[in-house]
Amino acid sequence: MPLAENIDFLALDPMADIHLDAQLQPSAPMGFLSLLTQANTDILSQNTSSANISQSQFDLMHDVETAAAMSELQLPMGPLPVESKSMEDGMMIGDVGSSNGKAEAPMFESPEKEWAVLHRLFFEFVYHSLPILYQDRFFEEMGMQPRPRPLLALGYAVALVSAAISPPHQHLQKGYYTMTRKLLEKCEMEGDGEEFASLNIFQALLFLLRYEIMASRITRAWMTLGRAIRLASVLNLQKMDTEDRVGGTVPGLHVELPPTEDPVLLEERRRSFWCLFILETYVKTRSGMPCQLGNAALFDVNLPWPGLLNQGFRPTHMPFLRDVVENNEELSSYAACVVMVDLAIRAYELAELSQSQTQGYWDRHFALARMIQECSAKMGSHLNKDAAVQDPVSLSNQLNLGAIKIILHETSIGKGRVDELSPSMVEENERCCQVAAQIIADTVRVVWENRSPERNLFTLQATFTAWPIAKAISTLVRDRESSCSYPSAQRMGDLILLCSVLDYVEKEGGYWHILITSDLTQIREWDGGLES
């Protein structure tokens, strides 16, 4: 089904659907791995009482809480025409409340007409940034009548992330979000929760989690994350590729997914697990909460294989994450994303170590620098400019890898000064920062200039590009300030472009704008000076 007749991509703007009252506080950080640039003091959301959430509070919210949640959600994805209503004025399904003010019973039905477009939109557009759903399996199961609740939950969740970027369907977000949560809760409460222990429910949680992350609601996302992590543990996904499956399961707790030899189904499970790992890292570094999924070095899960999850999929052996350096296989872009996230965690931990008196910082610094170099080599063609233009995951990988390098070398600059190392060492690390920042700027320029109305990768990757863009701006400004001279015309062009793209992926007044306020002010002063 062609989508061009149904969906207008001409004005794709990831921030255009947010209409906030002036009294609202700035949104939570949108960028990726924000705590790599600040002290670990950020609390989950605007309510500091959320920091000590008990186990019972991981339960999905009840009706009144769901309605309240929707009044807060704001999604930085997809355009909303000027004449359109804000998200809060969008469609409300019966469980939120009827027009006469009386609560209505939820109707677990699927809107076939909208789903026909939104589900196909997912696989044509959204899938390439979230490649975890087996297309043939999904559409085959969606043809079932009646549809079981776990499948309905997944259907609503897929439609939700698609509606977020489709102008004609923006108004459906509120209802789809509510129905996804209601169905998840219903599945958990039925019987012994056997409906809840399924891949469809796990994937529905992942799509819901991504939606909440893109809405900059870290408290809510953290609560959804907790449920997804516990379900992954119940399904024992972190050991799905282990050779020795004897032991490690607790009767009455762990639930085995149906056994299968289908390589596409197995790969779907792997990618879903690694998606959880990626999203947990974002929430962890944004919130400061400890990881609950476990030590990534202990996961017995092969890295994602290359290829689309459809009938044409061809399996290729991929290593465990802990063995990636020793393996000779070139990584897929999604596997490269997993590796990039692991490198980011290591850089974050190294930055924390630099603030302590613990010995061994420099050994770990050089080991991480070597690992980044070796892993980058295995990412191969996924780090070239053509890949960034075509593949949203490759775009995120390249930008964030550059920001990780900046963090690595900035940390060593500070540590080197404390340890009174030679000025040449400090200068070399600063040079490495500038090189990484310039690569980010060059990549942003190429992708921005090659964007198309139907395929603007910055729309899909907004949350995961704001941090490296802000980091590049700050680094390039620091270079000019240290030289006490006006930037060249080329450097100013890079800075102005980076600021424009940052404005595109995050509203002015958002977290990253606030974090680099002084740098943005300096750029405006330089720009004004050059014009005069």
d(CA 310, CA 353): 44
Share of the chain above pLDDT 70, in %: 76
d(CA 354, CA 340): 21
What pLDDT was estimated at residue 461? 87
The more confidently predicted of residues 359 and 38 is: 359
* Contact in structure between 224 and 205 (CB atoms under 8 Å): yes
Which pLDDT band, with edges at 50, 70 and 90, does 245 fall under? low
The 10 Å CB-count burial string (b at 16+, else e) for 199-224 is bbbbbbbbbbbbbbbbbbbbbbbbbb
What pLDDT was estimated at residue 129? 94
What pLDDT was estimated at residue 90? 33
d(CA 98, CA 63): 13
Q: Which residues does residue 452 pair with via DSSP β-bridges, in sequence order?
A: 455
pLDDT tens across 180-202, in order? 999 999 998 887 767 888 999 99
pLDDT tens across 111-135, in order? 888 999 999 999 999 999 999 999 9
pLDDT tens across 372-409, in order? 999 999 999 999 999 999 999 999 999 999 999 999 99
d(CA 433, CA 416): 15
Q: At what angle do helices 112-124 and 135-142 cross, to 10 degrees?
A: 170
Burial grade of 515 (CB within 10 A; 0-12, 13-18, 19 or more): buried
Determine the 3-state secondary structure of 231 from DSSP.
Answer: helix
Helices H, strands E: what count in the chain?
A: 18, 0
Burial grade of 394 (CB within 10 A; 0-12, 13-18, 19 or more): buried
Structure tokens at 480: 């000019």
The more confidently predicted of residues 486 and 413 is: 413
Determine the 3-state secondary structure of 291 from DSSP.
Answer: coil
Q: Per mean pLDDT, which range of 62-66, 100-104, 449-453 is the poorest?
A: 100-104
The more confidently predicted of residues 27 and 323 is: 323
Residue 29 has pLDDT above 90, yes or no: no
What pLDDT was estimated at residue 246? 58
Residue 255 has pLDDT above 90, yes or no: no
Residue 422 has pLDDT above 60, yes or no: yes
What pLDDT was estimated at residue 10? 34
d(CA 466, CA 460): 12
Distances (CA, A) of 142 to 148, 154, 260, 352, 455: 10, 10, 20, 47, 27
Q: Give φ, ψ of 119 to 5 degrees.
A: -70, -35
What pLDDT was estimated at residue 12? 42
Residue 18 has pLDDT above 90, yes or no: no
Q: Give φ, ψ of 451 to 5 degrees.
A: -70, 155
Residue 8 has pLDDT above 80, yes or no: no
Mean per-residue pLDDT, 141-145: 92
Q: Averaging pLDDT over each range in 32-36, 161-165, 327-331, 455-459, which range is the top one?
A: 161-165
Cis peptide before 146 (omega within 30 of 0): yes
What pLDDT was estimated at residue 58? 32
What pLDDT was estimated at residue 231? 95
The more confidently predicted of residues 357 and 299 is: 299
Instruction: Enter the pTM of the model.
Output: 0.79
Q: Per mean pLDDT, which range of 176-185, 253-262, 267-276, 481-490 is the poorest?
A: 481-490
What pLDDT was estimated at residue 453? 72
What pLDDT was estimated at residue 35? 38
Sketch the domain layout of the chain as residue ranges.
324-532
Q: Per mean pLDDT, which range of 17-21, 284-288, 479-483 is the poorest?
A: 17-21
* Contact in structure between 500 and 69 (CB atoms under 8 Å): no
Token pair 């959804």 is found at 224
Average pLDDT in the chain? 80
